[in-house]
Amino acid sequence: MRAQIEILASLQIVDREIKENAGIRQGLLGELQEKERGIRAKKQEIEVLTAACTAKEKLRQEKDRVLQDEGKKAVDKRMRMNRIKNIKELQALQREIDQIRQANSELEEELLKMMIEIDGIKGELKTKQEELVQAQQEWQQTQQGLQAQVSAIDHAVDEASRRRQSIAAEIAADIMSRYELIFSRRGGTAVVEVTGGICQGCYMNIPPQLRNEIIRNEKLNLCPSCQRIVYYKPSEAQEKTA
Ligand SMILES: [Zn+2]
C-alpha cells in the first residue's frame, strides 16, 4: 500500500498543477471577456446617443422650417396692411401678425434650448467615442498577451495531463476512483500526511488506534474528520515503529 499512496501523492502534485492552471486560465478568459463586454457596452451607448442626436436634429430642422414659414407669412401680412383701408380688417390683420410673432418668439426660444441639448449630446458622444478608442487600443495591447498566456497554460496542462496518465496507470482502479472523488470534494487535497499525530488536511488529532493502522499501512486509511486519505512519510513511520 505504501507504494500506491506515494504514487497517489505524486499524482496529487500533478493534479493540483492542472487544477491551478485551470483556475488561472479561467481568470484570463474572464478578463478577456470582460474587456470585450466593456467595448460592446461602449459601442451600444454610442449608438443610443447617435440615434438621440439624429432624432433631435431632425426635430430642430422641422421647427426651424416652421419658424421660417411663419416669418414669411408675417411679412406677407404686413405688406397686405398697406393695401387695406378698412380699420377693422387692419386691426384683425395686426392681431394675426402679433400672434405669429408671439408664436415665433416662443419657437425661437425652443430652438435655442434644442441646440443646447444637441450640443450636450454631441459632447457626450465625443467623450464616449474617445473612451471607445482608448478601450480598443488597450484591448489590442492586452489581448495578445492574454491569448499568449492562455496558450502557454494549455501547453502546460497538456504536458501535465500526459504525466498524469503515466502516473495514473500505476494506481489500482478502485483507489483511483476514491482518490478522484475526495480530490474534487476536498478542494484539491485528497492525500495528506500525518505529522505528530495530526492530520495535515484538517489539523485534527488522529486517534492512537488509527495511527497504528496508518503506520502499518495495510489498507487505505481515511482521516475520521476530513475523510482524506492519510499516510505517514516513511521516515516518520520508521520512527514510530522503532
Ligand atoms: Zn483530516
**Domain boundaries of the chain, sorted by first residue:** 19-168, 173-241
Q: Is there a contact between 157 and 21 (Cβ–Cβ < 8 Å)?
A: yes
Q: What angle do CA 107, 111, 112 make, to 5 degrees?
A: 120
Q: How far is the CA of 216 from the centre of ligand 1 (A)?
A: 18
pTM: 0.70
Euclidean distance between CA atoms 1 and 217, whole angstroms:
6
Q: How far is the CA of 230 from the centre of ligand 1 (A)?
A: 8
Q: How far is the CA of 239 from the centre of ligand 1 (A)?
A: 21
Q: How far is the CA of 10 from the centre of ligand 1 (A)?
A: 19
Q: How far is the CA of 74 from the centre of ligand 1 (A)?
A: 95
194-203 pLDDT tens trace: 999 999 999 9
Q: How far is the CA of 220 from the centre of ligand 1 (A)?
A: 14
Q: How far is the CA of 191 from the centre of ligand 1 (A)?
A: 10
41-94 pLDDT tens trace: 999 999 999 999 999 999 999 999 999 999 999 999 999 988 988 999 999 999
pLDDT value of position 233: 84
Q: In the β-sheet with 191-195, what is the strand arrangement from edge to edge? A: 198-199, 191-195, 229-231
Query: Which residues face 222 on adjacent strands?
Result: 229
Q: Is there a contact between 240 and 206 (Cβ–Cβ < 8 Å)?
A: no
H-type alpha helices, the chain:
2-83, 87-168, 173-185, 208-216, 234-241
154-163 pLDDT tens trace: 999 999 999 9
Q: How far is the CA of 205 from the centre of ligand 1 (A)?
A: 8
Surrounding ion ligand 1 within 5 Å at CB are 199, 201-202, 223, 225-226
Closest CA to 210 of 227, 222, 195: 222
- Second-level CATH architecture of 19-168: Orthogonal Bundle (1.10)
